[in-house]
Amino acid sequence: MHLIKGTKIALSSLGAHKLRTLLAMIGIIIGIGSVITMVSIGEGTKKEILSKIENMGTNLQIVNAGQIQTFGGRTSQTGNVTTLTWDDANALMREISSINSLTPSQKGKCKVKWFDQIVATSVIGATPNFPEVKNFHTAKGMFFSETELKGVMQVAVLGKTVKENLFGEDNPIDEVIRIENVPFKIIGVMEEKGLNVDGQDEDDVIFVPLTTALRRLFNLTYINNIYIQIKDKKSMKRAGNEIEELLRERHRLRPGVASDFTIQSQTELMETQKEVTDTFTQLLGSIAGISLLVGGIGILAVMLITVKERTREIGIRRAVGAKRKDILIQFLFEALVLSMSGGIIGIIIGILTSTIIGSLAKWPVVTPLYSVLASFLFAMMVGIFFGVYPAKRAAQLRPIDALRNE
């Protein structure tokens, strides 16, 4: 009953000064709305990045030639990139029991021509099990076979972006394109993959047999990468150690000498990206949370003014039997109603704003339940924290002094 009565009195008091009440709530509304929006964008980004890493393939280990370094958010290979070979891939498959499948690959930038259409795109030489290992399958036609790989056949499978750039809506199957002036027959089109974690378009690519790529296009004897599918997640760490040990032995690297290759696991990529996005989300939330303090100061100012204006009312209530704790609770209720009302409105605005941003910018947004609950609880804490001082001032007024107040 005290709760209901206190709430009614608080609402009645705040309703008598609507503009002042609204101004006091604005800080809380903006603060909560900003926190919800920023956290939603951050969580959506994290989910999108982790989804892209998972789409790279299941239980994936990647052996890169040389060292992998990041510049401006983009990864690049440095150091000696000529020591990783197809024979290394065959040795790994033959000697490490925890490997389910693997595909060596070599990537290069090439000019591609079809009649008067010319585009520059990435060409990847791979093996027939590339779709299985990388979880990247054909949407039309087929991927090249073991026979075409061994026969150094000039066949190609287009990524969706290359297909649209060259052929638009037309069916490219059985058409002949020229890659660096070498004719290739199109036998398939890959499904849409989208952007990878580095922001690169994974559909702007053409796949050809690795034998053909090395001999006819790149004139190389070494490879860029080996994508390795491990049998189960429990074996990931052990497999990584075995891969490193075997490759160091094959490359005749003595103890203490840095490896001329880099091993990345899908798990490590996910953990790294998760840490980065979590930090980003926390930073955004913290920045937005500063406005909550501003909102709290607004509540403090309004409540102090309210106490000053209602000094005589406090005196009358004390004179007719109200205790100090009754006055304290009443003013705390008013501060809580202010902050909680602002919190609820802020949550609604935050969810609507993040949804609109996601829809207009095609940006993934996810509003986690914890952010809504935490924001609401924080709004309550702000109301209590900044409402205690004015409430104590009101409760400590002597009835006789309050009644003398004009």
SS (H, E, C) 324-373: HHHHHHHHHHHHHHHHHHHHHHHHHHHHHHHHHHHHHHCCCCCCCHHHHH
| Mean pLDDT of the 227-245 span | 88
Average pLDDT over residues 111-126: 93
What share of the chain in percent tops pLDDT 70? 75
The answer to whether residues 138 and 170 touch, using CB atoms and an 8 Å cutoff, is no
Q: With 0.85 as the threshold, say if the pTM is over it.
A: no
Average pLDDT value for residue range 189-206: 82
**Closest listed residue to residue 58, CA positions, set 207, 235, 201, 188:** 235
Residues 6+ apart with CB under 8 A from 8: none
Rg of the chain in Å (alpha carbons): 33
All structural domains of the chain with their residue ranges = 2-51+272-404, 84-259
**Residue 291 tokens, joined:** 């406005």
pLDDT in tens, 380-397: 887 777 777 776 776 676
Summarize pLDDT for 310-357 with one digit per residue, the tens: 666 666 766 666 677 777 777 777 777 778 888 888 889 988 988 888
Residues 6+ away with beta carbon under 8 Å from 115: none
